């Protein structure tokens, strides 16, 4: 039984399509594993975590456990306020883009706030000793 060149090309294309699907499946399986290995900390408690841990150990060493609760509550409230504010800024930016307004001006303040928080966290991590 002989195949024409067009049939051979069709068979090769079908095989390569199936092989590509296997590679995508392998990539989709290995990506979460690699991500959990490379980033073991949870994403919800990343910024100002070093400052919180340092203040907790400072107050625990003096025996003041109520101050630890206050520090944790204050930092978590600041995190929540910042995240809600950034989310509202994103919503306003999307609405401005839909209405053909100047969305870049609307997006400038949340982006600057996010950058300042990240820079502040990096500087805090440099100043505070690692726990």
Residues in CB range of 130: below 8 A, 6 or more apart = 50
pLDDT, tens digit, for every residue of 19-31? 555 667 777 777 7
Q: Which residue has the higher pLDDT, 61 or 38?
A: 61
Q: What is residue 114's predicted lDDT score, i.e. its pLDDT?
A: 85
When pLDDT is averaged across residues 65-77 and rounded to a whole number, the result is: 87
Cα 52 versus chain centre, distance: 19
List the single range of 23-27, 50-54, 80-84, 118-122 with lowest mean pLDDT: 23-27
Q: Is the pTM value of this prediction over 0.75?
A: no
Handedness of CA 106, 110, 112, 113 (dihedral sign): positive
Rounded (10°) angle between helices 103-127 and 49-62:
40
């Amino acid at each position: 039984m002989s195949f024409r060149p067009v049939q051979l090309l069709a068979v090769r294309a079908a095989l390569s399509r199936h092989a590509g699907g296997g590679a995508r499946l392998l990539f989709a399986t290995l990506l979460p594993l690699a991500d959990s290995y490379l980033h073991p900390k949870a994403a919800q408690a990343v910024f100002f975590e070093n400052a919180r841990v340092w203040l907790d150990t400072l107050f625990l060493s003096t025996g003041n456990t109520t101050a630890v609760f206050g520090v944790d509550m204050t930092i978590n409230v600041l995190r929540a306020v910042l995240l809600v504010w950034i989310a509202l800024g994103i919503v306003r930016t999307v609405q401005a883009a839909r209405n053909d307004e100047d969305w870049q001006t609307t997006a400038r303040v949340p982006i600057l706030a996010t950058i300042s928080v990240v820079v502040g966290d990096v500087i805090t991590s440099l100043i505070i000793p690692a726990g």
